[in-house]
Amino acid sequence: MTDLPRIDWPTLVVFMPLMGAMLAFVCPRQAAGLGLVAVLSTAAAVAALVLEVLAQGAVVTRLGNWGAPLGIDLRADGLSTLLLAMTAGVGIFVSLGALDSYAPMRADARTRRYFWPLWLLLLTGLNGAFLSTDIFNLYVMLEVIALAAVGLTVLSGRREAVRAGLEYMYASILGALLFLMGVGFVYLELGRLDFAGLIAAEPAPALTAAVALMIAGLLLKSALFPLHFWLPGAHANATAPASALLSGLVVKVSLYIFLRLTQYMPLPDELLVTLMGALGAAAILWGGIQALRAERLKLLVAWSTVVQIGLIFVAFARAGQLGLVESWKAAALLILAHAVAKAAMFLAAGRIKDEVGHDRIRDLDRSHIRPTLAQFTFALSAISLIGLPPSLGFAGKWMLMEGAMAAGYWHWIAVTMIGTLLSVAYFSRVLAGFLRFDRLRTPVGEHQGWALADAAPLILALSALGLGLAAAPILAFMEIGYPFGTTP
Amino acid sequence: MILDILALTLIALGAAFFVAGTIGLLRFPDTLCRLHALTKADGLGMGLTCLGVTLLAGSAGEIARILLIWFFVAASSAICGHLIARHVRRATDTEER
Amino acid sequence: MSSGMIFGLTGLAIFTIGLFGALVMVEPLRRVLALKLCSVGGGFMLVVAAWRAPPEVADPVPHALVITGIVVMISATAVALALIRRLHTLEHDSDD
Amino acid sequence: MADPLLIFDALLGVALIALAIAVLVVRDRFAMIVLFIIFGLMTALAWVRLSAPDVALAEAAIGTGLAGALMLKTLHHIRAAPAAPVPVSVGVVFANMGFCAMVFVGLAIAFMATSLEAPGLAPQVAQNIDASGVAHPVTAVLLNFRAYDTLMEVVVLLAAIIAVWMIERGIEQAPARHLGEIYRGFARLALPAIVVIGTYLLWVGAYAPGGAFQGGAALAAVGLLLLLSGLYRPQPAHRPIARLGFVLGIAVFASVALLVASGGRLPFEYPPAHAKTLILLIEGVVTISIAVTLAALFHGREPEAIPVSETRA
Amino acid sequence: MSTALSITLIVILLSILGGLIRILRGPSPAERMLAAQLFGTASVAMLLILSHLMAMPALLDVALVFALLAAVTLVCFVVLAEEERR
């Protein structure tokens, strides 16, 4: 603890959206304004935290000054801060998109009234989860996120959305409870719950059980292949900004926790690691096929999330048990790339649906109105998701394959290539429709709505492309505070 | 010592009433009879148990709380018996009509 | 055999029964109840972890965690039940 | 001869497992809920046997009482739905049964192999309890050592009530309920008694089992009784108060946590001289919030808003 | 003394477990509720005895909450059942 009077940024990063959520809930009429202010000020706090981390390495806050096993510490190292920054960045643009999407003429007052508190609570949970160093605290954060996310899923109030939301709720409660049981086993064996305790622990049967339970819960929450059943419905039926948040950010939390836990509590068996990779490969194939068959644009985008999660798990698997640091980083990079690009893509898909009036892929090229900018955005984010240079997705995939080649894991390279080809195939279904604009010889229709709504996803998509060029500094930043393989 | 034995007897008697209540609940033919068996049994069983535990209690605060519990259980048991009986009577009324 | 052992195994059994219910049941209410069983099983594990061998004083930290878990679970239950009611209303209305 | 209390424990364990199975297999849905409530009661007994009275209190009041009431309400709402719409194929059932049996065996082996020798955090709690401001260890953990968790748990409640208000819509006017004179008399007697008990639980939490959650749950029971008996009808005009009630606890809790962080202290680091006062303040407002939120969760729908229940009692 | 009390506890537990049959068999909700009422009261009795056996006066508070909760659930049941008939 320093004697200098300094503002404790990690705490503020969690508390600011919380305060915003309460204000937005108490004053429903001003919800949008208050919400935007809260998101922006949270982003400012994150920026300050980034600077602090750059200047002095990992930032640790001992809440209540009790210290780790008894109290709870917040810790912002490179990886956490990077994900916080990702959340803040995506959050700002999704908020801007939502401002338009839920504008008074498009959505009822109810939607507007509830979107902002729920989204800010979600942001609280996300930030809290990224900063947490205590597995029980992670459980609570997962529940904050889950409830807010379910709320966002059913925002439209339509029947399909409610049904998908209920399915999502079951999956996410069960995932959280598996995690809780794992926490119970950890306490049984170790008598403490902080990350430092996990790292210091000797292997024991109870810990193996704990790892198995927690990983099962996280896999369910992150929708790895056979456990993905809830995802497409939930993500495809939510309103566009909500889908962007769900697909871009919410799924990432469980991936992030998974990344952390497998660092601190290595999987007991190489076989399990390979199994996870195999499931990832299956997700790539199955998700790809489903995306090829999807009839609606948003459903296609949702299935593409399943594919991308599979890819991230392939990256995990490639790490083997000795934590080849390169591939953890590849996974983190892919998480980042997917968050930015998928948020942009969902927002763009939402814009297309708004303007054209439907999102049947087959008929997209027959509309009178051409939402050019949204289509352009969609194409840009597809580039990142497919993994073409210079996008961030490319950088992630490249690291993955480079590592795999170095270790001689050729089968993972083959899987990655097949996944790439599949994603080219299903995205080209949409993009081809965009290009064949002259099927109806009508003048290009006028734009409805506000330029900001197109600008927000466009900026996101552009940054997904552009960040690929900055992959090296991002990787360097990620390593601040040694998140990979060393004690915190 | 005598106090202990007295308390034990009271508690055992209370337990016996609980057993009787269960048997009544299982064996009696219709809802109202079962209700009758039950409220008598758990009223008395609870009362005797409370009395027994009071004899064993260490401090005045504990005794006060035990009495409060007894009072609360008795009141809620009575009102619940009443409500259920009412419910049953109304239900049979509607059936007969 | 000790109380901790007995209730630890009980908790595990309840958890697995709940897991089974959550996987197999189709009725919405029963699925929620199955999840609640799971949460009670998890609670058992933590309470047993607090109890240890014949305790002078039980470890208060897991107790606090279980209380937190209970409150979290009632929130989740309430939301799930609200979804069930809403879904029922929607489907019921569309049937008419 | 074995300790008879151990036999009691074993019986209780078997009863719990039997109840858990019964909850899942019993045909009648009402019986299912009743069995679940009883399961909760027995769970609380088991936790008492494990010397966890705080947890037993919370489980009985929140996990069983309120959850049971919620279930009954939901069952009442969806009673038109068929009891078991889609039968699952026997093969799936057996496959899952086998899987779950494997999970159980695996976990049981891991559990039996654990020595339970880790010291846990009890010594540290005991060491720091004097600095925490309260004498009861569980309250100290909840409101001081791990206050951040507790704050987030109240946030989960807030998220739940926001989600519930959003999910359930429509202005469905509940019919008036008449429960007769005796019930009214009971209510007149019981409601203040419950308020007293709730306050007592809150107050006693400083040095004995009890505290904000248990007290809040007891007060929420008052809200439930008021709502059920029609003595209180939520009005749309009460919504702002209700909203304030929901966020009050978090707002005060979070503000205190941040405001103490001046003069070289960290967030949540209460100055030792004022720790007791601050914790009592936080507990008080959190209790109110919990009570209002739980009652509102029971009520559901937004337009007819929620009482600050205690004032009407 | 404590052995005798423990045996009493076991007797009460066994007796209420017998009551389970009534819940499973029904037939009407009212009967199930009656059995639940018996469970509630018996649990309170068990808690009272346990509070002496385990020397934990705090269990009296738990018993108090049990008693309260039984009443609330019952009122909930009756009210909802009344509404249903209308």
Touch between chain A and chain E: 3 or more Cβ pairs under 8 Å: no
Query: Residue D198's closest CA among D186, D215, D183, D210?
Result: D215
Domains in chain C and their CATH numbers?
3-95 (1.10.287.3510)
- Nearest CA-CA partner of A165 in A236, A60, A215, A95: A236
Looking at the complex, report in whole angstroms how far the Cα of residue B17 sits from the nearest Cα belonging to chain E: 9
Residue D38 corresponds to which amino acid? I
Q: Do chains D and C touch (3 or more CB pairs under 8 A)?
A: yes
SS3 E55: coil
| Joined tokens for residue D33 | 């809920």
Eight-class DSSP state of A362 = G
* D245 band by pLDDT with thresholds 50, 70 and 90: very high
Determine the residue among D8, D30, D182 to mutate to test chain B binding: the one whose Cβ has the most chain B Cβ atoms within 10 Å. D182
Compare CB distances from B86 to D180, D189, D190 and report the shortest one's residue: D180
The reply to whether residue C80 touches residue A173, judged by beta carbons under 8 angstroms, is yes
User: Which H, E and C letters describe chain D, residue by residue?
Assistant: CCCHHHHHHHHHHHHHHHHHHHHHHCCCHHHHHHHHHHHHHHHHHHHHHCCCHHHHHHHHHHHHHHHHHHHHHHHHHCCCCCCCCCCCCHHHHHHHHHHHHHHHHHHHHHHHCCCCCCCCCHHHHHHHHHHHCCCCHHHHHHHHHCHHHHHHHHHHHHHHHHHHHHHCCCCCCCCCCCCHHHHHHHHHHHHHHHHHHHHHHHHHCCCCCCCHHHHHHHHHHHHHHHHHHCCCCCCHHHHHHHHHHHHHHHHHHHHHHHHCCCCCCCCCCCCHHHHHHHHHHHHHHHHHHHHHHHHHHHHCCCCCCCCCHHHHC
- CB of A185 within 8 Å of a chain C CB? The answer is yes
The rounded mean pLDDT for chain A is 86
Cβ contact D72:C29 at 8 Å = no
Using the predicted structure, report yes or no on whether residue D161 has a pLDDT greater than 90.
yes
More confident residue, C15 or C96: C15
Please tell me the distance from the alpha carbon of residue A52 to that of residue A9, in angstroms, as a whole number: 9
A-contacting residues of D 200-259, CB under 8 Å?
Answer: 240, 243-244, 246-247, 250-251, 254, 257-258
Q: Pick the residue with more confidence: D256 or A274?
A: D256
| Chain position carrying tokens 């919990």 | D290
Q: Residue A361: its pLDDT value, please?
A: 84
- Residues 31 to 70 of A: which have CB under 8 A from any D CB? 61-66, 69-70
* Residue A420 and residue A393 in contact, taking contact as beta carbons nearer than 8 Å: no
Q: What's the residue count for chain C?
A: 96
Q: What confidence score (pLDDT) does residue D304 get?
A: 45
3-state DSSP call for residue A76?
Answer: strand
Closest CA to A10 of A64, A80, A71: A80
Omega within 30 of 0 (cis) for the link into A390? yes
CB contact under 8 A, E3 and D4: yes
Is pLDDT larger for residue B26 or for residue A294? A294
Residue D173's pLDDT is: 47
C72 contacts in chain A (CB < 8 Å): 139-140, 143
Distances (CA, A) of C15 to A440, C9, C12: 60, 10, 5
CA dist A450 and D41 (Å) reads: 58
What is d(CA D89, CA A157) in angstroms, rounded to the nearest whole number?
32
Instruction: Read off the pLDDT band of C57 (50, 70, 90).
Output: confident
| Cα separation, B90 vs D20, whole angstroms | 33
The CA-to-CA distance between both ends of chain B, in Å, stands at 61
* β-sheet bridge partners, residue A296: A360
Average pLDDT over residues B57-66: 84
End-to-end CA distance of chain A: 16
The answer to whether E85 faces chain D, any CB pair under 8 Å, is no
| Gap between the Cα atoms of A268 and A321, Å rounded | 8
State how beta strands A73-76 and A59-62 pair: antiparallel
Q: How confident is the model at residue C93 (pLDDT cuts 50, 70, 90)?
A: low
User: Closest chain D residue to C91 measured between Cα atoms?
Assistant: D81
Instruction: Sketch the domain layout of chain B as residue ranges.
Output: 2-96
The answer for E 44-63 residues in CB contact with D (under 8 A) is 46-47, 50, 53-54, 56, 58-59, 61-62
Q: Which of residues 2-41 of D touch A (CB under 8 A)?
A: none
How far off is chain E from D268, nearest CA to CA, in Å? Answer: 29
CB E72, CB D225: distance < 8 Å: yes
Which has the higher per-residue pLDDT, A37 or E82?
Answer: A37
Q: Which of A451, A92, A84 is nearest to A241 (CA)?
A: A92
Structural domain spans, chain A: 1-131, 134-268, 271-488
List chains touching B (3+ CB pairs under 8 A). D, E
Q: Does the pLDDT at position D307 exceed 90?
A: no
Contact E67, B80 (CB under 8 A): no
Closest residue by Cα to residue A400 from A310, A483, A476? A310
Most confident of A424-428, D201-205, E62-66: A424-428
* Whole-number CA gyration radius for chain D: 22
* Distinct helix (H) and strand (E) counts, chain C: 3, 0
Instruction: Output the pLDDT for position D312.
Output: 37
| Chain D touching partners, 3 or more CB pairs below 8 A | A, B, C, E
Is there a cis peptide before residue E27, judged by omega within 30 degrees of 0? yes
Note the Cα A354 to chain centre separation in Å. Answer: 24
* Test mutation, B80, B82, B87, chain D, max D CBs within 10 A: B82
Neighbours of chain C (3+ CB pairs under 8 A): A, D
pLDDT band at residue D170, thresholds of 50, 70 and 90? Answer: low
User: CB-based contact (8 Å) between C89 and chain D?
Assistant: yes
Residues of A whose CB is below 8 A from D125 = 70
- Whether residues E33 and D45 touch (CB distance < 8 A) is answered with no
Would you call C94 an interface residue with chain D, using a CB distance cutoff of 8 Å?
Answer: no
Is a pLDDT exceeding 70 seen at residue D2?
no
Q: Dihedrals φ, ψ of A62, to 5°?
A: -90, 95
CB–CB contact B76 D180 (8 Å): no
HSE toward the beta carbon, residue C44, CA cutoff 13 A: 30
**A361 and A295 Cβ atoms separated by less than 8 Å:** yes
Residues of C in contact with A162 (CB under 8 A): 83, 86-87, 90
For residues A206 and D110, is the Cβ–Cβ distance under 8 A? Answer: yes
D225 to chain E nearest CA, in Å? 7
Tell if the CB–CB gap between D266 and A154 is shorter than 8 Å: no
User: Using CB atoms, which residue from D163, D246, D251 is nearest to A151?
Assistant: D163
Give residue limits of the domains in chain D.
1-86, 121-313
Closest partner residue to E61 (CB to CB) among D34, D177, D204 is: D204
Please tell me which residue of chain B has the smallest CA distance to E72. B76
Please give the pLDDT value at position A319. Answer: 57
- Those of residues 58-77 in D touching chain A at CB distance below 8 A are none
- Contact indicator for D300, C82 with CB cutoff of 8 Å: yes
Out of C3, C13, C85, whose CB is closest to D50? C3
Token digits of residue B13: 């008697």
Least confident of A2-11, A401-410, B84-93, D8-17: A2-11
Question: C16 contacts in D (CB within 8 Å)?
Answer: 100-101, 103-104, 107
Q: What is the pLDDT of residue A451?
A: 65
Average pLDDT score over residue span C15-35: 92
Tokens representing A269 are 């068996």
- Do you know the residue count of chain D? 313
In percent, the amount of chain D with pLDDT more than 90 equals: 32
Among the partner residues D18, D30, D209, nearest to E58 by beta-carbon distance: D209
Residue C43 touches chain D, beta carbons under 8 Å: yes
The pLDDT > 70 percentage for chain B reads: 95
Instruction: Give the model confidence (pLDDT) of A311-367 as tens digits.
Output: 998 887 765 545 567 778 888 899 999 999 999 999 999 888 887 878 888 877 777
**pLDDT at position A24:** 93
Contact assessment for residue E76 and residue D298, using Cβ atoms and an 8 Å cutoff: no
What letter does residue A150 receive in the DSSP assignment?
Answer: H
Alpha helix positions (H), A294-391: 297-318, 325-356, 372-386
Burial (CB count <10 Å: 0-12, 13-18, 19+), residue A423: buried
D110 vs A: CB within 8 A? yes
Cα atoms in the 13 Å half-sphere on the side-chain side of A195: 25
pLDDT in tens, chain A (488 residues): 444 456 788 999 999 999 999 999 999 888 889 999 999 999 999 999 999 999 988 888 888 888 878 889 999 988 999 999 999 999 999 999 888 888 777 777 788 889 999 999 999 999 999 999 999 999 999 999 999 999 999 998 888 999 999 999 999 999 999 999 999 999 988 888 888 888 888 888 889 899 999 999 999 999 988 888 999 999 999 989 999 999 999 999 999 999 888 878 777 677 788 888 899 999 999 999 999 999 889 999 999 999 999 999 888 776 554 556 777 888 889 999 999 999 999 999 988 888 787 888 887 777 767 777 888 899 999 999 998 888 888 988 888 888 788 777 788 889 889 999 999 999 988 888 777 655 554 454 555 555 677 888 899 999 988 888 888 888 888 888 776 654 44
B67 in Cβ contact with B54 (< 8 Å): yes
C59:A147 CB<8 A: no
**In one letter, which amino acid is A102?**
Y
Residue A303's Cα: distance from chain center in Å? 15
| Inter-chain residue contact E32 with D34, CB threshold 8 Å | yes
Which one of C18, C47, C85 has the shortest CB-CB distance to D77?
A: C85
- Measured in angstroms, the CA of D187 and the nearest CA of chain B are apart by 10
